[in-house]
């Protein structure tokens, strides 16, 4: 009985100290972090000069079939990076965690990853083919960092 109690207490302590359930590895899809960039990222000669910050954030991510610039409606009020609509198929969505991390299982294909800011779709990057572009090959998990940069100066 004493041994059973020791095992039970040990297991309880281990579970209490863990960060929660461990997710199985992502076999195929996209994973990464969502980062909010703000402030000045201009090159400086004074190392003590104020600079910008990069913080992990929680956001809902929207994965669309690869969207080129002809497939989106740019928000004329907010400008570059903000889109009123995306005219390709919505494949999946997921929410990033407080540490900015996310993971989405996807079939092989070409995708565009957006977040929502000010009730608009937002993506600050392009891979030359698609806005917020990422390609997933069969059996591959691809890292994709989503950078929200509209409050940053470069």
Buried-exposed string 16-50: b where 16+ CB fall within 10 A, e elsewhere: eeeeeeeeeeeeebbbbbbbbbeeeeeeeeeeeee
pTM passes above 0.95: no
Mean pLDDT of 129-154: 95
Domain ranges across the chain: 27-153
Q: pLDDT grade, residue 11 (50/70/90)? A: very low
- pLDDT of 20 strictly over 70: no
**By percentage, how much of the chain surpasses pLDDT 70?**
84
**pLDDT tens profile 26-72:** 999 999 999 999 998 888 777 777 688 999 999 999 999 999 999 99
**pLDDT tens profile 76-117:** 999 889 999 999 999 999 999 999 999 999 999 999 999 999
Higher confidence at residue 2 or residue 77?
77
Q: What angle do CA 79, 84, 85 make, to 5 degrees?
A: 135
**By percentage, how much of the chain surpasses pLDDT 90?**
72
DSSP characters for 125-139?
A: -B-SSSBTEEEE-TT
- pLDDT of 2 strictly over 70: no
27-153 placed in CATH 2.60.40.1180 = no
Q: What is the pLDDT of residue 50?
A: 66
């Amino acid at each position: 009985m004493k041994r059973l109690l020791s095992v039970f207490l040990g297991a309880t302590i281990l579970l209490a100290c863990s960060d929660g359930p461990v997710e199985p590895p992502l076999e195929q899809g996209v994973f990464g972090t969502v980062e909010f960039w703000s402030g000045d990222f201009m090159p400086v000669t004074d190392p003590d000069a104020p600079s910008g910050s990069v913080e992990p954030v929680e956001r809902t991510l929207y994965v669309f079939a690869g969207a080129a610039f002809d497939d989106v409606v740019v928000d004329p009020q907010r400008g570059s990076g903000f889109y009123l609509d995306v005219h390709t198929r919505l494949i999946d969505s997921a929410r990033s965690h407080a540490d900015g991390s996310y993971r989405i299982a996807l079939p092989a294909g070409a995708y565009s990853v957006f977040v929502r800011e000010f009730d608009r779709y937002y993506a600050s990057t392009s891979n030359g083919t698609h806005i917020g572009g990422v390609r997933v090959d069969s059996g591959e998990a691809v890292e994709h960092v989503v950078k929200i940069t509209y409050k940053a100066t470069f």
